[in-house]
């Protein structure tokens, strides 16, 4: 078409300007700002002075930050390889159209529209060792209650366990992909005498490969940037046992160590980018970029 010399160029620029301005202010400028200040000694208020890579060295030498990085790795693995497979299983069942599957799809996604603040407070009360629901449940089978969120040996597991309510997000994506598989494939397999299980393994799973890759990539990327529910449930404690890079960043900022906070931000961005790139390479197809945009 009129690839060159569109006579509306002025108007096009005018229409794009507000979005580009906001994008520059809230995506590009912060990236440059974080990079620059991560190389500075800066306490927030006063001036900055060049500090080389000292902020990075300090963080990487700090055992609590290393613990936070390890926890992010655990989050990423749990999200990609527990949450997504569970979501895939639910999606494969719903794609077979059992009674009420549309309603189930709607309900399974529901927790994703409820604020993390509200859900975190629910979980804190459910885990409460005095009157919580888990105490009551375990009491039925004669097991004692524990202070799950207050004990360094159980806190991380307890915080991760509650993310099971969020599988609906990946389920929706995988279900849409499963429903788009041509029905004739299953009919042909049926005629050949293939059981339901065989059909799922030989038809559905291979056809879902691209969407599964997308979901695993998304889930692991979210695991790397995990912050909110942990911050709200344990604040990263006890003894940093549930800390993540995001929480470490927040605590550095709270302690007015802005240079180190920025370095933590850069490490978070770099690790996340490397992970997404590596996963896209390893898992091949699937377009996390396009699908993440939803």
Residues 199-238 that bind another protein (CB under 8 A): 208, 210-211, 214, 221, 224-225, 227-228, 231-232
Of residues 240-259, which lie at the interface with another protein (CB under 8 A)?
246, 249-250, 253, 258
Find the part of the chain contacting another protein (CB under 8 A) among 51-59, 151-159, 198-206, 264-272: 264-272
Quick one: 110 or 198, whose CB is closer to another protein? 110
Count the neighbouring beta carbons within 10 Å of the beta carbon of residue 57: 12
As measured in angstroms, the least distance from the Cβ of 25 to another protein is 7
Chain-centre distance of CA 13, in angstroms? 35
Span 127-156, contacts to another protein by CB under 8 A:
130-133, 136
Binding-residue total with another protein (CB under 8 A): 103
Residue 100, judged by CB atoms within 10 A of its CB (0-12, 13-18, 19+), counts as exposed
Helix ranges restricted to H, 24-145: 29-37, 54-60, 63-78, 84-95, 101-109, 116-127, 133-140
Q: Which of 78, 83, 111, 149 binds another protein (CB under 8 A)?
A: 111
Query: C-alpha distances in angstroms, 276 versus 271, 286, 293?
Result: 9, 12, 15
Q: Which is nearer to another protein, 74 or 161 (CB)?
A: 161
Orientation angle between helical segments 245-254 and 258-283, nearest 10 degrees = 170
Closest CA to 70 of 164, 159, 150, 156: 156
Which residues in the 27-56 window bind another protein by CB under 8 A?
Answer: 27, 29-31, 33-34, 37
Binding mask 69-88 for another protein (x = CB under 8 A): --------------------
């Amino acid at each position: 078409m009129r690839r060159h010399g569109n006579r509306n160029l002025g108007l096009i620029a005018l229409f794009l300007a507000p979005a580009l301005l906001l994008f520059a202010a809230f995506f590009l400028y912060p990236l440059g700002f974080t990079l620059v200040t991560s190389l500075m000694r800066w306490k927030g208020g006063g001036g900055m002075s060049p500090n080389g890579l000292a902020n990075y060295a300090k963080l990487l030498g700090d055992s609590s930050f290393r613990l936070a990085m390890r926890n992010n790795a655990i989050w990423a693995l749990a999200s990609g390889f527990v949450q997504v497979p569970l979501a895939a299983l639910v999606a494969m069942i719903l794609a077979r159209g059992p009674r009420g599957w549309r309603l189930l799809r709607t309900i399974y996604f529901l927790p994703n529209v409820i604020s993390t603040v509200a859900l975190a407070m629910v979980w804190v009360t459910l885990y409460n060792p005095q009157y919580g629901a888990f105490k009551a449940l375990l009491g039925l089978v004669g097991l004692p209650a524990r202070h799950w969120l207050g004990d360094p040996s159980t806190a991380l597991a307890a915080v991760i366990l509650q993310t099971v309510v969020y599988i609906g997000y990946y389920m929706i994506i995988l279900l849409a992909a499963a429903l788009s598989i041509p029905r004739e494939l299953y009919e042909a397999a049926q005629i050949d005498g293939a059981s339901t299980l065989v059909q799922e393994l030989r038809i559905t799973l291979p056809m879902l490969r691209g969407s599964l890759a997308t979901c695993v990539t998304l889930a692991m990327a979210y695991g790397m940037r995990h912050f909110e529910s942990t911050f709200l449930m344990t604040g990263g404690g006890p003894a940093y046992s549930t800390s993540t890079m995001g929480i470490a960043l927040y605590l550095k900022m709270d302690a007015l160590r802005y240079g180190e906070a920025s370095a933590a931000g850069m490490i978070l961005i770099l690790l996340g980018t490397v992970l997404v790139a590596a996963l896209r390479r390893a898992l091949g197809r699937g377009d996390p970029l396009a699908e993440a945009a939803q």
